[in-house]
Amino acid sequence: MKGIFDMLRPKAQTEPAEEKRDSILFSTAFAGLGVDASLLIPWEARAVEVDAKRLTAARGTKLLQGLWAQDKYMSHLNAEAIQRLERYFDFASVPANRDIIRQDEYGNFMVVLLSGAIAVDRVQPWGERLRLAETRPGEILGEMSLLDSGIRFSACTTMNECEIAALSAEAMDDMMSANPHLAANLIALLARKLSLRLRVVSARLSEKK
């Protein structure tokens, strides 16, 4: 997680301005790691593929506020902070049996489940499809790739019609520029939740050996 917080730490003044700017951008991080742009799946493309329908920002924000108010970590973002997040999220409704995220792809967005249920599966090297979780509203998916520009660890498939909030790398960059304190708080909370989930998944995979 050190690399995540390094992005928010001011760089030395001797660093060229353009290099300094590029070093902290989520939207250019994949290119910085040598990932071909043609392999990157943005939310806009996935939304068309899964036939997502736009959800009003008012409804999406209301659902997000209610769900995160009950979350041990995300409740640190109060209603006013979540209201400010509204401009950075895309809210949508997605039909059942659609892959919002696919295993082993590159994607520069995360999603928050607002209603419905999403299955999280991982195909093992020997072909077995392992069910890691069935998420409930309020859960966050895909934040690992957004934060570290890595490949997707698992597949996330809607089990019924779902309402979601999507946050792209470009929107995260906009937030860091316009609301750096809000962005820092969100990233810290995402890192904590991600760490907890990785511990749970690691324990579950160990049990399957």
Alpha helices, DSSP H, located in the chain: 2-6, 17-22, 29-32, 43-49, 57-68, 79-85, 143-148, 169-178, 180-208
Boundaries of every domain in the chain: 2-208
Task: Look over the chain and give the mean of its residue pLDDT values, rounded to a whole number.
Answer: 85
pTM: 0.81
- Give the tens place of pLDDT for each residue, 34-78: 777 777 889 999 999 999 999 999 999 999 999 999 998 899 999
Q: Which two tokens stand for residue 55?
A: 């959800």
What is the pLDDT, as a whole number, of residue 17?
44
The predicted structure's pLDDT at residue 158 = 98
- Interaxial angle between packed helices 180-208 and 169-178, expressed in degrees from 0 to 180 and rounded to the nearest 10: 140
pLDDT given at position 16: 44
Quick one: which H or E segment has residue 99?
strand 99-101
Q: Check if the beta carbon of residue 147 is closer than 8 Å to that of residue 194.
A: yes
CA distance 180 to 167: 16
Q: Which CATH superfamily, name and number, covers 2-208?
A: Jelly Rolls (2.60.120.10)
Determine the distance from the C-alpha atom of residue 6 to the mean position of all C-alpha atoms in its chain, rounded to a whole number.
19
Task: Give the DSSP H or E segment for 158.
Answer: strand 155-158
Residue pair 165/111 in contact (Cβ under 8 Å)? The answer is yes
Instruction: Judge whether 104 and 134 are in contact, CB under 8 Å.
Output: no
For residue 140, the model assigns a pLDDT of 94
- CA nearest to 146, candidates 121, 176, 118, 119: 176
Burial tier of 13 (Cβ tally within 10 Å: 0-12, 13-18, 19+): exposed
